[in-house]
Structure 1
Amino acid sequence: MKIATKVFLPSDTIRKLDALSQRSGRGKSEIARAAIESYLSPDSAEAAEATLTRRLDRLSRQLDRLERDLTISTEATAMFIRTWLKVTPAMSAAEDRAATTKGQERYAAFVERLARRISEGRLLRGEVLVEVASDET
């Protein structure tokens, strides 16, 4: 059973209601009823908050994992560079030129292999974890 009622709304709200009614092809009463029910229903607000909280928690966990992975990568790279600098002897000027040329060739090959692995979806991290897991069993 429907009961007619009279409400007083600001003119801008009426314009928005009229526009939505025309765009959606629904009656103003139907739109107003849905809006009022949504406003009066505490479950919808709580459900929306719970959904948002779950999403934020998931994003927070993902960011934590990314931060951990970045920290590990940065530390591993820094440790490698420090060790390499400690154990690599200085070179003469002639050796330095030859090493620079060879280094540029090797770097280009490295970048090419890296791009290929990434485009194929093969990550060394996954391979290492599989190897470690199989060694532990």
Structure 2
Amino acid sequence: MRKPHVKHTFRLDARLSRLLDDHARVRQVTRTDVVEAALASMLSPDHEERIEAILTKRLDRMSRQLDRLEWHVELTNETLALFIRFWLTSNPPLPDEALKAAQASGRKRWHAFVQSLSRKMEAGPRLKDELSRDIDR
């Protein structure tokens, strides 16, 4: 036996009405079913707890993403610092007469580096993948 229904008449914003129509069509249910489900959800006693649970889950995911990002930034900083320290301690400054030739060579090497980096960023593998492979060996 069906529950008794009470007819209500109210106005919706045109955009909201289109969203309601689209949602009902996609779910293959009536607009009344969508509105009833939305109202039941909104007016249920645990509505606030469900919203809190959803937000908590999202915040936890974002926190994990930030932790990973922090790790990658730290790895990048340490890698760069290690490289700079190594480079500065193992390469003496050039005499003035060799500087122009070294700068020309440096420009060529820089362009090759940028092209290589571009290919690496597009195709991979990434440094983190290579590191995990090297550590597992």
Name the residue aligned to 1:89: 92
Aligned sequence identity (%) = 37
Give the TM-score normalised by the residue count of structure 2: 0.71
Give the TM-score normalised by the residue count of structure 1: 0.71
Name the residue aligned to 1:112: 115
d(CA) in 1 for partners of 2:122, 2:97: 38
Gapped regions of structure 1 (runs ≥ 5):
7-13
Give the alignment's Cα RMSD to 1 decimal.
3.1
User: 5 Å matches for 1:49-64?
Assistant: 49-64=52-67
Deviations 1:115-134 (A, max 9, x none): 11221121133123212211
Name the residue aligned to 1:15: 11
d(CA) in 2 for partners of 1:15, 1:86: 75
d(CA) in 1 for partners of 2:107, 2:42: 66
Query: Based on CA coordinates, which of the two structures has the bigger radius of gyration?
Result: 1
d(CA) in 2 for partners of 1:55, 1:3: 37
Moved runs in structure 1, 4+ residues, more than 6 A? none
Q: Is the alpha carbon distance of 1:50 and 1:93 closer, same or farther for their aligned partners in structure 2, counting shifts above 3 Å?
A: same
Q: Is the alpha carbon distance of 1:41 and 1:97 closer, same or farther for their aligned partners in structure 2, counting shifts above 3 Å?
A: same
